[in-house]
Structure 1
Amino acid sequence: MKQLAIIWHSMTGGSKALAQAASDGAVRGQSVHVLMLHAAEADPEHMLAADGYLFVFPENLAAISGGMKSFFDRCYYPCLGALNGRPYAMIVCAGSDGRNAVAQAERIATGWRLRQIAPSAIVCTHAQTQAAILAAKTIDVAYLSAAAELGEQIAAGLHMGIY
């Protein structure tokens, strides 16, 4: 059975909600094992065991969140050269922009020689004040539906051998 690893980091709940929606979509009618891992728990063995990946995390200070960056730092070299061609997608939860965090993570994925199977999604929460940035996030149902569809797409592609 193919395995999809959804690796996520969240500080205010937005990215966690998106990761959960993607996981829910991935398990709909698919014969794919979905492993949803907080970035602090994910390690090189999880990466090596998975057939595809969905990375979900917030942008912090125009960059990959610290927890997700720590995951990439721990796993990069142990996985280098071993993940070539495996599919991935990404969702970034951002207060305004998100493009720099996407660019950073896409460079890491390129170094791993992963194959991007969907454009990286940026979910904008429009949080611009200290209170709004630190507040628990409620993600719009349209974004949650899109995350579920992305999870289902990756799972279906893995199951059918497309990816």
Structure 2
Amino acid sequence: MRAMPSRVHMWRSAARSLRWFACDADPAGLLQTQRLGLPLNQPDASMRLLIVWHSRTGMAKQMSEALLKGAQKARSEMEASETDLAIHICRARDAQIHDLISAHGYLFCAPENLASMSGEMKEFFDRCYYGALGKLNGRPFALAVCGGSDGEGAARQISRICQGWRLKSVTAPLILRNGAQTPEAVAAAKTLDTHGAEKCMDLGGLMAAHMLLGVP
């Protein structure tokens, strides 16, 4: 009768050791490919377009919404359904490795801060890069960046990461500049103008059409 508690204790110790080993092997969860939390919508979709965005003062968020609207419009005009092409939009801090692996095309949208991509967008790539490495080869992507007077630095950074993933660029990065240079202008809320919104919609539509047509 006394052997049973001892055996249970042994099993519990073994389980704890396995958990500790797993934590030591990947303490930051950089290789975690199972989605945590709610599953993605449209699990039976033939293709998925994933839009990952971050925004500090509002412009990049509006750009990502225009990308989404353009992709949805193109899908509708091509008489395709959500089952043909599911379109997901996700803030960078919420995007996971599983979201990347389960998608077939990508739009990344972020602001440039101090000549580089914003910190939250960088953290997304840091967190997901190695878990997705080797699993995204050949899939299409495009970038949308908002900057004050430049934007090229952030675009180059993101493009290099996508090159490491072996993603295929569909078109040149879309860079929209708001002209902010003083501390007050940089910190102020931004509004995407009509011309910029149209350019983002065009990019979203291009990506959706590219995927639906199966362009290599």
1:137 to 172, 190, 194: 190
Mind listing any 5+ residue stretches in structure 1 that lack a counterpart? none
In the alignment, the residues of structure 1 paired with residue 188 and residue 162 of structure 2 have an alpha-carbon distance, to the nearest angstrom, of 30
- Whichever structure has more strand as a proportion of its residues is 1
Mind listing any 5+ residue stretches in structure 2 that lack a counterpart? 1-45
How big is the alpha-carbon RMSD for the aligned residues of Structure 1 and Structure 2? 0.8
Larger Rg: 2
Structure 1 ranges of 4+ moved more than 4 A: none
Aligned to 1:88: 141
2:214 counterpart of 1:161: yes
In the alignment, the residues of structure 2 paired with residue 127 and residue 162 of structure 1 have an alpha-carbon distance, to the nearest angstrom, of 38
Q: Which moved more, 1:107-116 or 1:25-34?
A: 25-34
Q: Deviations over 1:32-74 (max 9, x none)?
A: 2110000000010000010000000000011010000000001
1:97 to 121, 127, 150: 150
Aligned to 2:66: 21
Aligned to 1:9: 54
Report the residue type matching 1:159 in the other structure: L
Q: How does 1:2-81 map to 2 (within 5 A)?
A: 2-28=47-73, 29=76, 30-31=80-81, 32-81=85-134
Q: TM-score, normalised by structure 2?
A: 0.74
In the alignment, the residues of structure 2 paired with residue 33 and residue 137 of structure 1 have an alpha-carbon distance, to the nearest angstrom, of 29
Aligned residue pair count: 163
Q: Which has the higher contact order (CA 8 A, sep 6+)?
A: 1
Q: Secondary structure at the match of 1:102?
A: helix
2:168 counterpart of 1:123: no
Question: Deviation of residue 156 (structure 1)?
Answer: 1.2
In the alignment, the residues of structure 1 paired with residue 196 and residue 178 of structure 2 have an alpha-carbon distance, to the nearest angstrom, of 10
